[in-house]
Amino acid sequence: MREKVAVIGAGSWGSVLANILVMNGHQVHIWSRRKEQIEELNEKHTNHHYLPDFTYDKRLVASDRMDEVLTDATTVLLAVPTKAMRTVVADVAHFLNDKQLKPVIVHASKGLELGTHKRISEIIEEEVAQENRAGVVALSGPSHAEEVAKKDITLVTAAAVDLKDAKKVQHLFMNNYFRVYTNTDIIGVELGAAFKNIIALGAGALHGLGYGDDAKAALMTRGLAEIARLGIALGADPLTFIGLSGVGDLIVTCTSVHSRNWRAGDQLGQGEALSDVIQNMGMVIEGLSTTKAAYELAMQQKIDMPITTAIYQVLYEGKNIKQAISDLMQREGRSE
Ligand SMILES: NC(=O)C1=CN([C@@H]2O[C@H](COP(=O)(O)OP(=O)(O)OC[C@H]3O[C@@H](n4cnc5c(N)ncnc54)[C@H](OP(=O)(O)O)[C@@H]3O)[C@@H](O)[C@H]2O)C=CC1
Ligand SMILES: O=C(CO)COP(=O)(O)O
C-alpha cells in the first residue's frame, strides 16, 4: 500500500532513507531547515554537501514547512543528530494533533541525550503525546548512506516494543538491496547503536597511530564486552549485542572509511586537534557526546568500562592517546 511518509532531517542518512522509500513506491516529503538545500533537492535532485555524487529520485519532495511535510503522514522518520532530537521532536509534536492520522514515529539516529542519558525513543515518547501517535520504532544496523545510495546490500533491524510497529517499518523499507529484520528489544538496539560509535573512535585512532589488525580486533572484541556489560545493566537483552545493531554495527563502524566516527578517531590518532577534526568533518560525529554519556552512566552503574574511560580521558581530559593505550595494556591481568 502506498503511504505518505514525512522525513525530518535531510543529511546523509535521512535523505538516503527517504530515497529508498520513494523508490519503494511511497509518497515522501523531506524536511530541511535550509532553503538552499531544499531548492537543490527539488530542482537538481542533489544534496552536494552530504552526498556529492548522488542523484535522488525526482519524486522526492523537499520543504522547510514542517506542517506541510507532516500533513496526512502515516509514518514520520526522524534522522537528525541526537543533540538536536528533543527540539526537533518537540516541533514535530506541535503539528501532530488528534485531527490527523496517528503516525508511527521511526528514528534512525544513534546516540544518547547528554545530561539525561535518555535513549532517542524515550525522548520521542516524552515529547509526542501518546494519543497523537502510534508506536515508536528504532531503525538501526550496519549501514552507511554512501553504500545504501549505491544500492549495495544492507541489512538493518526495526525495533519496537510492539512487534506490529516494527513489522510496519520492515514492510515500508524492505526491497532487494535493503533487508529489514524486526526486534522487540528496543533498549538493546538503541544502546548498541549508540555505544559502538565510542569503539569506532578508538578503532580509528589505532589506525591513525599505525597499529595493526590484531590491535583492532582486540579493541572491537573487548569493546563489545564492555558496551554489552553496560547495556545489560540498563535493561538490554544480551543477545541483541550479537545482532545487526550490536556486533554488526560495531564491525562496520570500526572498519569502514565511510564512518565519521572512525575517521575522527583516525585523524586524532594522526595528531590532529579535536576542534579541527570536528570543524573539518562537516557532519555529525555522534561518538564524541556518546562517550561522555556512556562514561557517566558507567560511573553511575558501577560498570567497568576501561576502553570507554580511556577514550573519555583523551577527548575530555586531554590525555595523550599513546599514554592511554599504554595504561590500558598495563592493567592487571584478568579472566576474559
Ligand atoms: N550517515 C549514515 O550513514 C548514518 C547515520 N546514522 C545516524 O543518523 C543520524 C543523522 O546522521 P546523518 O544524516 O549522517 O547526519 P548529517 O550530519 O549528515 O546530517 C544531519 C542533518 O540534521 C540536520 N540538523 C542538524 N542539527 C539540526 C537542528 N538543530 N535542527 C534541525 N536540523 C538539524 C542537518 O541540517 P543542516 O544541513 O541544516 O545542518 C542535516 O540535515 C545520526 O544519529 C547518525 O548516527 C545512522 C546510520 C547511518
Ligand atoms: O551508524 C553508522 C553505520 O552503521 C554510521 O556511522 P558514522 O556515524 O560513524 O558515519
Question: Per residue in 263-273, pLDDT tens?
Answer: 999 999 999 99
Of the given ranges (92-101, 134-143, 150-159, 279-288), which has the lowest mean pLDDT? 92-101
Whole-complex ipTM: 0.99
Residues 149-171 have a mean pLDDT of: 98
Same-domain pairing of 233 and 180 = no
Question: What cell numbers appear for 199 in the block?
Answer: 569503539
Chain mean pLDDT for the chain = 97
Residue 194, pLDDT above cutoff 80: yes
d(Cα 191, Cα 131) in Å, to the nearest integer?
A: 27
Same-domain pairing of 136 and 210 = no
Residue 283, pLDDT above cutoff 80: yes
pLDDT at 12: 98
196 in catalytic set: yes
Nearest Cα residue to 228 out of 216, 213, 246, 252: 246
Q: Is residue 253 part of a domain?
A: yes
Residue 169, pLDDT above cutoff 70: yes
Nearest Cα residue to 144 out of 120, 176, 178: 178
Which ligand number lies closest to the CA of residue 283? 1
% of the chain at pLDDT higher than 90: 98
Instruction: Confirm if 203 and 220 have CB atoms less than 8 A apart.
Output: yes
Residue 15, pLDDT above cutoff 80: yes
Tell how far the Cα of 144 is from the centroid of ligand 2, in angstroms: 6
- Which of the listed residues 8, 12, 37 should we mutate to test ligand 1's pocket, taking the one with most ligand atoms within 8 A of CB? 12
> What are the φ and ψ backbone dihedral angles of 4, each rounded to 5 degrees?
-100, 125
pLDDT at 270: 98
Residue 25, pLDDT above cutoff 70: yes
> What are the φ and ψ backbone dihedral angles of 139, each rounded to 5 degrees?
-105, 115
Residue recorded with cell 522487540:
184
For residue 217, give Cα distances in angstroms to 198, 231, 324. 15, 21, 18
Q: Which domain holds residue 203?
A: 193-329
Same-domain pairing of 57 and 155 = yes
Which ligand number lies closest to the CA of residue 284? 1
pLDDT at 258: 98
CATH of the domain at 8: 3.40.50.720
Instruction: Confirm if 141 and 166 have CB atoms less than 8 A apart.
Output: no
- Ligand 2 proximity of 110 Cβ (cutoff 6 Å): yes
Residue 34, pLDDT above cutoff 80: yes
Longest dimension (CA), the chain: 62
pLDDT at 98: 65
Same-domain pairing of 96 and 224 = no
Same-domain pairing of 28 and 168 = yes
Kind of pairing between the strands at 104-107 and 154-159: unpaired
Q: Is residue 216 part of a domain?
A: yes
Residue 100, pLDDT above cutoff 90: no
Q: Is residue 334 part of a domain?
A: no
Q: Hey, whose CA ends up nearest to atom 7 of ligand 1? A: 109
Same-domain pairing of 173 and 45 = yes
Number of domains in the chain: 2
Same-domain pairing of 166 and 118 = yes
Residue 324, pLDDT above cutoff 90: yes
pLDDT at 99: 64
Which residues define the annotated binding site? 9-14, 33-34, 50, 110, 141, 143, 145, 196, 249, 259-261, 284, 286
d(Cα 180, Cα 189) in Å, to the nearest integer?
A: 13
Of the given ranges (88-102, 267-281, 293-307), which has the lowest mean pLDDT? 88-102
Catalytic residue among 4, 118, 168, 196: 196
- Ligand 2 proximity of 260 Cβ (cutoff 6 Å): yes
Residue 27, pLDDT above cutoff 70: yes
Tell how far the Cα of 196 is from the centroid of ligand 2, in angstroms: 9
Q: Is residue 221 part of a domain?
A: yes
pLDDT at 101: 83
Residue that finishes a domain, picked among 167, 184, 201: 184
Residue 215, pLDDT above cutoff 90: yes
Q: Using one digit for the tens of pLDDT, what is the confidence trace for 47-67?
A: 999 999 999 999 999 999 999
Q: Is residue 336 part of a domain?
A: no
pLDDT at 326: 98
Kind of pairing between the strands at 154-159 and 178-183: parallel
Model confidence at 225, in pLDDT bands (50, 70, 90)?
very high
Residues 158-174 have a mean pLDDT of: 98
Q: Using one digit for the tens of pLDDT, what is the confidence trace for 64-95?
A: 999 999 999 999 999 999 999 999 999 999 99
d(Cα 277, Cα 268) in Å, to the nearest integer?
A: 7
